[in-house]
C-alpha cells in the first residue's frame, strides 16, 4: 500500500489537529483546504482572517472545516493564559514583556498552541528558515523524556520499497551518544510508517575491516544503542553494501540480524546523510519525504522553503500520524 494511503487510513476519524502558522502563504492555505475537505486532519491556520480568506479566494479554495486564528484578535483571556504559560515554561529566561513580543511571532504562537494541547502538531517552514521553526519547539515543547537531542529523518520510498535515512537534517557531527539516540529515534519513526526496523549503523568499515576515530565512534554508538534498546535489531558498524545486499552481508557480517536486510540507515554524520539521501533521490528515483523531526515531546515538522502545496499536505499527514503514535 502507498505510504500516504496507509497513513491516511490511520488518521482518518482521529480528529488530529495540525496548526499551520504561515496562514497567508498560498501553498499553506491550499493544503489546509484539501486536508479539511478530505477529512484527514482539523487544520488551524494562523493569520489575519481577511488576508487568509483573500488568499483562499484567489486559489478558489474552500475553507470549510479550516479554523483561522488571528493572534491580534485572539481572546484576551486565552492570550493571557498563553503568555503566563510561556513565561512559566521559560523559567525566568524571558520577562512577560519579552514573552509577549515572542508571541507576536506566528511560530511561537503556533508552538504554544501545541504545548497547551490546543493542537496535536505543527507544520511550518514554507516561508521560514529551519531555525525559526525548530527554535520555539526546542524552547517550549522540548525533547521527550530520555532524549537529549532532536534529529531529522527522511522516509525514502519507491514502489513497495520504503526506508528510513537519518540524520540528514540536524546534527552536523554527532558523537557516539547522539548517534545512538538517532538510531533508537529512527527505529521508532520506522514503526509509524509500518516498517519493521532493522537498523544499520553505517561506516566505511564493516566489523573492524578498517580503523580510525570515525570507525570507533560508530562502534561505540552501536553498543550504546543496543544497550539502550535491546529489543531492537541494531547492528554496526557496517558499509552500505553489507547492510543492504544479502550476499555481501553474509560475507562481511555473518550472523548479523541486520546485515543484508537493513531498512533504517543511520549515517555517521550529517554530510554523508545529506549526500546519501539526495543520491538515492536523484539517481535512484526515490521520493524523499521529510525531514521528519525526531525526539520532540510533540511533533513539529519543518518544511523546505521550496516546498509545494502537495509537500505541505503530505507533511501534515505525517505529523498527524506522529501525534497519533505519541498519544
Cα distance between residue 288 and residue 194, in whole Å:
17
Omega of the bond leading into 237 within 30 degrees of 0 (cis): yes
Residue 103 · residue 82 · CB < 8 Å: yes
Kindly compute the dihedral angle of the four CA atoms of residues 210, 213, 217, 220, in this order, to the nearest 10 degrees: 70
Beta strands in 118-187 (DSSP E): 121-124, 151-158, 161-166
Per-residue pLDDT of the chain (327 residues; tens, 9 = 90+): 578 888 989 898 899 999 999 999 999 999 999 999 999 999 999 999 999 999 999 999 999 999 999 988 899 998 899 999 999 999 888 888 998 999 999 999 999 999 999 999 999 988 988 888 889 999 999 998 888 899 999 999 998 899 999 999 899 999 999 999 999 999 999 999 889 999 999 999 999 999 999 999 999 999 999 999 999 999 999 999 999 999 999 999 999 999 999 999 999 999 999 999 999 999 999 988 878 899 999 999 988 788 899 989 999 999 999 999 886
120 DSSP 8-state letter: S
pLDDT of 160: 86
For the chain, where are the alpha helices, taking DSSP H only? 3-11, 26-37, 49-59, 76-90, 96-102, 106-115, 130-136, 176-192, 213-228, 240-244, 246-252, 270-282, 309-326
- Phi/psi for 122 (5° steps) reads -135, 145
Yes or no: say if 165 and 190 are a contact pair by the CB < 8 Å rule.
Answer: no
Question: Which three cell numbers, joined as nine digits, stand for 236?
Answer: 554496526
Instruction: Report the length, in residues, of the chain.
Output: 327
Phi, psi dihedral angles at 91 (to 5 degrees) = 50, 55
Q: What pLDDT score does 327 carry?
A: 67
Is residue 203 within 8 Å of residue 238, measured between CB atoms? yes
Please tell me the distance from the alpha carbon of residue 48 to that of residue 71, in angstroms, as a whole number.
8
User: DSSP code of 60?
Assistant: T
Amino acid at each position: 500500500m502507498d505510504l500516504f494511503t496507509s497513513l491516511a487510513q490511520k488518521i482518518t476519524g482521529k480528529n488530529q489537529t495540525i496548526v499551520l502558522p504561515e496562514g497567508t502563504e498560498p501553498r499553506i492555505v491550499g493544503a489546509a483546504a484539501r486536508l479539511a475537505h478530505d477529512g484527514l486532519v482539523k487544520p488551524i491556520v494562523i493569520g489575519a482572517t481577511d488576508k487568509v480568506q483573500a488568499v483562499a479566494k484567489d486559489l478558489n479554495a474552500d475553507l470549510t472545516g479550516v479554523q483561522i486564528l488571528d493572534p491580534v484578535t485572539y481572546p484576551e483571556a486565552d492570550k493571557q493564559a498563553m503568555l503566563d504559560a510561556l513565561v512559566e515554561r521559560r523559567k525566568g529566561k524571558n520577562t512577560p514583556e519579552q514573552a509577549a513580543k515572542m508571541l507576536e511571532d506566528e511560530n511561537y504562537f503556533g508552538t504554544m498552541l501545541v504545548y497547551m494541547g490546543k493542537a496535536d502538531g505543527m507544520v511550518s517552514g514554507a516561508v521560514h528558515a529551519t531555525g525559526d521553526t525548530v527554535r520555539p519547539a526546542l524552547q517550549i515543547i522540548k525533547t521527550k523524556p530520555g532524549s537529549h537531542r532532536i534529529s531529522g529523518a527522511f522516509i525514502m520510498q519507491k514502489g513497495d520499497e520504503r526506508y528510513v535515512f537519518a540524520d540528514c537534517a540536524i546534527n552536523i557531527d554527532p558523537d557516539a551518544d547522539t548517534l545512538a539516540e538517532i538510531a533508537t529515534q529512527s527505529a521508532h519513526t520506522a514503526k509509524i510508517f509500518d516498517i519493521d526496523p532493522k537498523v544499520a549503523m553505517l561506516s566505511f568499515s564493516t566489523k573492524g575491516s578498517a580503523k580510525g576515530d570515525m570507525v570507533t565512534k560508530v562502534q561505540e554508538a552501536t553498543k550504546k544503542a543496543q544497550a539502550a534498546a535491546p529489543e531492537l535489531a541494531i547492528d554496526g558498524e557496517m558499509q552500505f553494501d553489507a547492510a543492504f545486499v544479502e550476499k555481501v552481508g553474509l560475507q562481511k557480517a555473518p550472523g548479523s540480524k541486520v546485515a543484508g536486510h537493513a531498512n533504517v540507515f543511520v549515517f555517521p554524520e550529517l554530510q554523508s546523510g545529506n549526500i546519501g539521501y539526495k543520491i538515492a533521490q536523484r539517481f535512484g528515483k526515490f521520493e524523499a519525504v521529510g525531514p521528519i523531526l525526531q525526539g520532540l515531546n510533540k511533533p513539529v515538522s519543518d518544511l523546505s522553503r521550496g516546498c509545494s502545496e502537495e509537500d505541505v499536505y503530505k507533511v501534515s499527514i505525517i505529523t498527524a500520524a506522529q501525534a497519533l503514535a505519541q498519544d
